[in-house]
């Protein structure tokens, strides 16, 4: 199997753009990635677009094709992939496979989503459809805020985690986002701001939640031989792991082991452990989500996630800075765009191109994305590890 490297990445600014189309956002992000890599449109040999695809203005088909046409990429294999919130990570993994197999030398992975209008209008209809289908979560009213409310309640009762500690995650990630020009929210917040924000579910307030916004992100990959033609700072992919839920009826609801199983595969593939990481982008759809991730990914012991964030270890300047781009909580969470946005941030960190939020001397980074839930289990987990 061939060694694969990331040679360029690009984003458009994530935000709420009811007046801005998917094609415009996609064109900007893909073009930025091409420019960053020094690659021309004609050099791209295969492409994968990750999207849940709720923008009805483009119709149900060929979203990726339409975006790539705007930058002059046509005629090559272009595929749309979807795995809910991890759709961008699927696009990256498929691109990695395509190059590793030897069939292609340069690939484009990108993710895009427009959530400000169509999703809002159809949200209640989606819930009705889930109830009608007797789908496990939807038929019981267990939507994301409720699921993570249950997770937080369990964590607080079992380990003594406090609301102040979970709020510290949101504060930290907003601080990081204040230095990221692509982030949706950039104004710093305090623990009191989080605790006093609008209640959404039990123990979950507005600022504990990620924003479902609009955005696009793109990453360009190449074989190691070809990468050297474009950059003197290739970022190598040392692991790509994906697992799905097991959906066991006796599994504790919403305390899934997908992250632990995926992490074990990724660490073994890369030949490292969590202590070897310098920076990580992990799934923080809610602030309790990040605390549980710390434990599942081996950054600390079970039940120690709250004290870890409180210690400052996961903030810039700490032992292992987490979500330096702002995370889902502040960079935003346009479902399909999140995975590649995480990879873009790690790429810039390892190439020392992250500006004011740069982790000094960063050489090894990790991305972690979750996608979907089913029968009390997470649907998917993708973990990628990178080195320079």
- Cα gap 330→209, rounded to integer Å: 9
Partner residues linked to 370 by β-bridges: 381
Residues 6+ apart with CB under 8 A from 260: 296, 297
Count CB atoms within 10 A of the CB of residue 31: 17
Among residues 289, 299, 387, which one has the least CA distance to residue 85? 289
Instruction: Select which of 283, 333, 368, 384 is catalytic.
Output: 333
Residues 6+ apart with CB under 8 A from 302: 159, 295
CA distances for 355 relative to 43, 177, 178, angstroms: 29, 12, 12
* Active site (annotated) includes residue 85: yes
222 and 166 in contact (C-beta within 8 Å)?
A: no
Residues 6+ apart with CB under 8 A from 282: 290, 293, 297, 322, 323, 327, 366, 367, 368
CA atoms within 13 A on the CB side of 215: 31
329 and 170 in contact (C-beta within 8 Å)?
A: yes
64 and 47 in contact (C-beta within 8 Å)?
A: yes
Among residues 211, 387, 368, which one has the least CA distance to residue 292? 368
Instruction: Select which of 49, 85, 209, 216 is catalytic.
Output: 85
- Cα gap 333→289, rounded to integer Å: 14
Among residues 175, 373, 159, 366, which one has the least CA distance to residue 256? 373
Dihedral over alpha carbons 24, 30, 34, 35 (to 10 degrees): 50
* Active site (annotated) includes residue 300: no
- The DSSP code sequence of 25-79 is HHHHHHHHHHHHHT--GGG--EEEEE-----GGG-SS-HHHHHHHHTT--SS-EE
CA distances for 84 relative to 104, 183, 192, angstroms: 27, 21, 32
- Cα gap 27→191, rounded to integer Å: 37
- Cα gap 35→45, rounded to integer Å: 16
Indicate which residues carry an active-site annotation.
85, 333
């Amino acid at each position: 199997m061939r060694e694969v490297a990331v040679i360029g990445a690009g984003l458009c600014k994530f935000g709420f753009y009811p007046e801005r189309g998917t094609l415009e956002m996609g064109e900007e992000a893909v073009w930025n990635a091409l420019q960053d890599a020094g690659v021309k449109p004609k050099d791209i040999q295969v492409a994968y677009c990750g999207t849940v695809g709720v923008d009805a203005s483009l119709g149900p088909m060929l979203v990726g094709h339409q975006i790539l046409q705007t930058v002059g990429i046509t005629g090559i294999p272009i595929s749309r992939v979807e795995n809910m919130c991890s759709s961008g990570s699927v696009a990256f993994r498929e691109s990695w496979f395509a190059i590793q197999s030897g069939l292609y030398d340069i690939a484009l992975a990108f993710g895009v989503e427009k959530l400000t209008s169509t999703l809002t209008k159809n949200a209640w209809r989606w819930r009705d459809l889930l109830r009608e289908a007797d789908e496990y979560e939807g038929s019981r009213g267990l939507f994301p805020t409720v699921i993570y409310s249950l997770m937080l309640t369990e964590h607080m009762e079992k380990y003594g985690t406090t609301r102040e500690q979970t709020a510290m995650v949101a504060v930290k990630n907003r601080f990081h986002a204040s230095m990221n020009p692509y982030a949706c929210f950039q104004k710093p917040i305090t623990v009191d701001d989080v605790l006093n924000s609008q209640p959404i579910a039990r123990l979950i307030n507005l600022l504990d939640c990620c924003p479902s916004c609009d955005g696009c992100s793109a990453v360009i990959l190449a074989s190691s031989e070809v990468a050297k033609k474009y950059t003197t700072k290739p970022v190598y992919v040392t692991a790509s792991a994906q697992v799905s839920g097991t959906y066991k009826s006796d599994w504790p609801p919403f305390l899934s082991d997908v992250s632990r199983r995926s992490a074990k595969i990724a660490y073994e593939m890369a030949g490292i452990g969590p202590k070897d990481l310098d920076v990580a982008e992990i799934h923080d759809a809610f602030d309790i989500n990040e605390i549980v991730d710390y434990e599942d990914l081996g950054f600390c012991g079970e039940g120690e996630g709250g004290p870890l964030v409180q210690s400052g270890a996961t903030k810039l300047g700490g032992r292992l800075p987490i979500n330096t781009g702002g995370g889902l909580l502040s960079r935003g969470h346009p479902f399909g765009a999140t995975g590649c946005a995480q990879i873009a941030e790690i790429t810039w960190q390892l190439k020392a191109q992250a500006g004011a939020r740069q982790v000094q001397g960063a050489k090894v980074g990790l991305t972690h994305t979750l996608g979907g839930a089913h029968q009390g289990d997470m649907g998917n987990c993708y973990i990628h590890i990178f080195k320079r």
